[in-house]
Structure 1
């Protein structure tokens, strides 16, 4: 049976089958979600906030909890859209403001311009450049360490699956 999920601040609703994850809702709305880990709950690029209906979602599992711990913008109502499965009505999701950086090339192309919206780190969700601020070469340096960062290896070292 289908459930309705509301997306804020874009004020849109989407229908999703019971036990489908919130990531499918985001992708159905053509939202820019990187899903770098392929929906395994390890990269945080589908991080969202649940404004209402946390009890209508499946509980947070251990892997999701570990990933949420590394997100600098994590709150009590944070979830990974790929891990949160809709069980009942009443879910309202708040999308984090900003856009995740897809690659170093994306930043190189924007150096010297002002960010239209917050640019977010692809793994931690940390704001690299705030909306309206100048994009500089230092932003590239913040990401260079990430290019060799292996999400799966990090989690194998920090948890025992």
Structure 2
């Protein structure tokens, strides 16, 4: 039996099969979710917030908990869409604000413009460029050491 899930701030409702994960719903709605780890709960590129209905979802497993611990934008209502299964009605998902940056090239193309929204690191959720700030070449130099490759990131972390 399908369950209805509401997506905010886009104010859309969608059906998802009972026990399906929220990532499948986001992909079905053609939302740009990076899913760098292929849905294994290791990269946090499908990080979402549960606005209401947490009791209608599967509980957090150990892998998801460990991944959430490295996200700087993590809140008590944070979940990974790939690990979160819908079990009941009343779930409202809040999509995180900001654009996830996959490479320095994504930012380089925006030099000289104001960031329309926070530009976020795809793994940690760290704000790379704040909304309203002008994206400059000097910001690019400061971010040269930023790791965007999921494998590189987890190889340097002893927590995983």
TM-score (norm 1): 0.90
- Tell me which residue corresponds to 2:35: 35
Secondary structure at the counterpart of residue 145 of structure 1: coil
Note closer, same or farther for the CA distance 1:43–1:137 as it changes in structure 2 (3 Å cut): farther
In 2, the alpha carbon distance for the partners of 1:138 and 1:125 equals 21
In 2, the alpha carbon distance for the partners of 1:92 and 1:43 equals 22
In 1, the alpha carbon distance for the partners of 2:153 and 2:67 equals 10
- Tell me which residue corresponds to 1:145: 146
Aligned runs of 1:37-76 on 2, under 5 Å?
Answer: 37-76=37-76
Mean CA deviation greater in 144-153 or 64-73: 144-153
Q: Which has the higher helix share?
A: 1
Deviation at 1:129, TM superposition (A): 1.3
Q: How many residues align?
A: 158
Aligned runs of 1:62-141 on 2, under 5 Å?
Answer: 62-140=62-140, 141=142
Unaligned runs of 5+ in 1: none
TM-score (norm 2): 0.91
Deviation at 1:154, TM superposition (A): 5.2
Note closer, same or farther for the CA distance 1:59–1:154 as it changes in structure 2 (3 Å cut): farther
Note closer, same or farther for the CA distance 1:29–1:138 as it changes in structure 2 (3 Å cut): farther
Note closer, same or farther for the CA distance 1:87–1:131 as it changes in structure 2 (3 Å cut): same
* Residues 107 and 139, structure 1, Cα contact 8 Å, conserved in 2: no
